[in-house]
Structure 1
Amino acid sequence: MKKYKNIYYILSILTSIAVVIWDGTIYIFMHKIGYSYSQINLFLSIFWIVTFFTEIPSGYIADHIGYLKTLSISGFIRAFGLLILALSSKNLFILIMSGVFTALGDSLQSGTLTSWLSNRAKLENDMDSLNHIYSTLGIITNPLNMLIGFLGANVLANFSLNLPIIIGAVLFIINGILSLFLIKYDKSNRNVQRPKFDIINDFKTIKQSDFNALRLIIVFIPVIMISVAPLDQWQLFFQHGKKIMTGYIVVLMGIMGTLASYLYSRLIYKIKNEWKLFIISTVMMALTIIATTLFKQYYLMSLGIFLMNVLFGSLEGTAQNVYFQKAINNETTRATIVSIYNAVEAGVTVVVLGINGYLADRYGLGIAWMVLAILGLIFFVTILGLNRKLLINKKYQNEVVD
């Protein structure tokens, strides 16, 4: 397991820094070269619409041609999408094509590497190691992301706003090349021959063997409502003045992410229940977003509360990921099931961003964030009430957690 864990760490770290180097400035770059807020929202909408339609096929392809091969293809496609955006002046067609290619690359990448690792762990009867691996990865990547994010936002972006995007594209290319050299480790992911393409029977199998995992996807929808707008718009919410200063916030977010990884390893060791941690973290995410907007006029207080949201968001993300992976029974369709969730996430995100855009244009980002957080929290509590089996059926929880 050690060999596969190290491969997971290397490829995950490369993917992470390839994103974080431009994540704090890409929308500022778009606005700087002349795109309006509505055109930037068009880019986001195209990204999530394409993601919605490509997620399930991407997961299905990964299950059948190999996870590392799929990851390699993803790196090259995503790099192309970023490069055409970074090296072009304002051009609506280029903006649309960038959204399409970056979304396709993201779909091929999302959930692929974790599915590869989870299958390896399940074959070796070591699923409990995932908690340690994910928390360790967070402890490694968060300080690194702080450094890279600060470098991208406060150094490279002040030199040239497109430079972080170009470097991110190069890192995706390196990741794609490295994944090509590691394809031989895809073969050991299963002791059996790869399944043939049989879409109808494969989805029948998913419904029969992993219905509980599919039910969990519904429970995860409110989390998207609560988190997606702040996740994309924090730089616009907190950036003041002409000089790009978001790098400092990236560093603080990285510190909170590192703290969250440390706390997760401690909390999960004591309570041994990802489900409870997921519920508590989701509720706190909603409450901290509401508080962030209420204290907007007090910049430092608002930022501090938002950083607590980052902490709870990191705890929630890890708990959700581990719990969901443990709930999946069939290794041969794991990436497909993860992609079903990602497709639902993309569809919900398109709707949520539309609502967010409508509210933000009329009442401001703060009101938009608060309304969606309240609605998400109400929806979350309602779904938990309607899915009482997930709360009180100990047999089901033991099946998933153990």
Structure 2
Amino acid sequence: MNKGLFVMALEVSNLNKRNVYLMYLIIFLQGFVFYGPVAVIYRQRRGLAVSSIFIIESISWILMIILEIPWGYFADRFGYKKTLVISNILFFISKIVFYKAHSFNMFLLERILMAFSLSGISGCDIALLYSSINEKESEKVFGRYSALSNAGLFLASIISSILVKYSLDSTALLTSVFYGIASILTFFLTEVEVKNKNRINIKLCIDFVKSSKNIILLIFAVSLINEVVQAVAVFLYQIKLINCGFNIVYFGLLTAFLQLVRISSAKTHVLSSKFGQNKSLMIFFIIITLSCLAFLTLKNIPIIIIALALMCSSSAMISPIILDIENKSISIQDRATVLSIYAMCGDILSSAVNVVIGKVSDISIEASFTFCIIICFFALILLCLNFKGQFFNKYS
């Protein structure tokens, strides 16, 4: 009898390990965004203004806010695997639309599809991983998961520097191929046991999140800092470097370098175990703030690239720590739903900030960086309030 139970436990453990390795492979393939290094230029050459890019991003954020809780409910009710299968198929379709897009409406459709996809994946991928591993391994696994996404983009960026010499279109086409393969691999995941599958209490989940005020402060702080990184390290840095005389041909190699830097997230657990999660977060927030200041005040290309690398590295290391904190904070069964509500709270703030950054970018690139610095200071204040709340909770 005991031997039979041992064999069953071993089989479950092997299946769960397969989930982890498959998720690693899926996120790695989805990192192959060959148009990433020239994303702004690609869109501009197909008729989009920078302000239009931010408007589309904002619409995408709003959709994700609306869809987060329904997708979380669906995942907890019908299973994480089914949710990821549907979401990754939509992700693949969005990349095909992106390749075909030549107008505002088509680029908007691409982001709408992407919003449906990302809101489905959001929380669900992490819930599946967390349910497939030992809790003590979570930060390490999340770090590797994040690093593999960056590793994919690193390789894609090197190849992209060759592709752009011949055709910008080919970068979008090849991206869709890799996303197609990733969507197929999702079918081979093994469903984990979802507790309370027949009845998901959304009111209980919302009440739980309302009572987790400290986590909400942290989510708001991270959402602000992530929005700054998204604006600067995805969109604005390309414009800044071009204004400083940087050659477009080298964007692929630069992005490859940045992804190599982001792979450092795989070692986040080493840093956080040495300094603690709170000190580590404070260090990363300050580095991102100082990097924005360098973008505003300097025109030296090597120094700007160093600032960009520090920003990307800090952002990459923040992610595993936050995922670990969020998951360990959840004491009720409907994990995917709670994670979706957490994500929704962050998305609400991000969408509002994104609109303002887009409007400010119409004034000047310098105005955008100034506004990003202001956002960083607000993020630091929220982080300090989170630390203060932790202190009082500990000694109350």
- TM-score norm. by structure 1 comes to 0.84
> Is it true that 1:72 corresponds to 2:79 in the alignment?
no
Q: Residue type matched to 1:32 in 2?
A: R
1:400 counterpart residue number: none
> Is it true that 1:63 corresponds to 2:64 in the alignment?
no
Cα shift at 1:269: 3.4
Q: Residue type matched to 2:119 in 1?
A: S
2:36 counterpart residue number: 23
- 8 Å CA contact 1:14, 1:171 repeated in 2: no
User: 5+ unaligned residues in a row in structure 2: which ranges?
Assistant: 1-12
Distance in 2 (alpha carbons) for counterparts of 1:38 and 1:341:
28
> Is it true that 1:134 corresponds to 2:136 in the alignment?
no
SS at match of 1:245: helix
Q: Residue type matched to 1:150 in 2?
A: I
Q: Alpha carbons of 1:395 and 1:276: their partners in 2 closer, same or farther (altered >3 Å)?
A: farther
Cα shift at 1:9: 3.7
1:122-161 Cα deviation digits (max 9, x unpaired): xxxx31201222333455554443112221x312333322
Cα shift at 1:358: 2.4
> Is it true that 1:323 corresponds to 2:305 in the alignment?
no
SS at match of 2:292: helix
Q: Residue type matched to 1:116 in 2?
A: L
Distance in 2 (alpha carbons) for counterparts of 1:394 and 1:257:
33
Q: Alpha carbons of 1:270 and 1:38: their partners in 2 closer, same or farther (altered >3 Å)?
A: closer
1:52 counterpart residue number: 65
Cα shift at 1:114: 0.9
Distance in 1 (alpha carbons) for counterparts of 2:269 and 2:386:
30
> Is it true that 1:40 corresponds to 2:41 in the alignment?
no
Cα shift at 1:308: 1.1
> Is it true that 1:157 corresponds to 2:161 in the alignment?
no
SS at match of 2:57: helix
Cα shift at 1:112: 1.4
- Equivalent positions of 1:122-201 (< 5 A) are 126-138=134-146, 140-151=148-159, 153-182=160-189, 185-186=190-191, 188-190=192-194, 192=195, 194-201=197-204
Q: Alpha carbons of 1:48 and 1:231: their partners in 2 closer, same or farther (altered >3 Å)?
A: farther
Q: Which stretch of the first structure deviates more once superposed, 198-207 or 40-49?
A: 198-207
Cα shift at 1:74: 0.8
- Equivalent positions of 1:211-230 (< 5 A) are 213-230=215-232
SS at match of 1:344: helix
Q: Alpha carbons of 1:65 and 1:277: their partners in 2 closer, same or farther (altered >3 Å)?
A: same
- 8 Å CA contact 1:157, 1:164 repeated in 2: yes
Distance in 1 (alpha carbons) for counterparts of 2:204 and 2:391:
31
1:399 counterpart residue number: none
- 8 Å CA contact 1:222, 1:379 repeated in 2: yes
2:266 counterpart residue number: 261
SS at match of 2:132: helix
- 8 Å CA contact 2:278, 2:387 repeated in 1: no
Distance in 1 (alpha carbons) for counterparts of 2:203 and 2:270:
43
- 8 Å CA contact 1:138, 1:261 repeated in 2: yes
1:293 counterpart residue number: 296
- Equivalent positions of 1:99-118 (< 5 A) are 99-118=111-130
1:191-211 Cα deviation digits (max 9, x unpaired): x45132554455345556x56
Q: Residue type matched to 2:292 in 1?
A: I
> Is it true that 1:361 corresponds to 2:362 in the alignment?
yes
Cα shift at 1:39: 2.7
1:27-59 Cα deviation digits (max 9, x unpaired): 322211222233323322222221121122222
- 8 Å CA contact 2:19, 2:129 repeated in 1: no
- 8 Å CA contact 1:150, 1:251 repeated in 2: yes
Q: Which stretch of the first structure deviates more once superposed, 14-23 or 338-347?
A: 14-23
Q: Alpha carbons of 1:282 and 1:290: their partners in 2 closer, same or farther (altered >3 Å)?
A: same
2:238 counterpart residue number: 235
Q: Residue type matched to 1:75 in 2?
A: N
**What is the aligned-residue identity percentage?**
18
1:342-368 Cα deviation digits (max 9, x unpaired): 22332222222222122222132x431
- 8 Å CA contact 1:286, 1:377 repeated in 2: yes
- Cα RMSD (Å) of the superposition? 2.7
- 8 Å CA contact 1:226, 1:377 repeated in 2: no
Larger RCO, structures 1/2 (Cα 8 Å, 6+ apart)? 2
Distance in 1 (alpha carbons) for counterparts of 2:386 and 2:120:
33
Q: How many residues align?
A: 380
- 8 Å CA contact 2:200, 2:334 repeated in 1: no
SS at match of 2:34: helix
- TM-score norm. by structure 2 comes to 0.85
2:252 counterpart residue number: 247
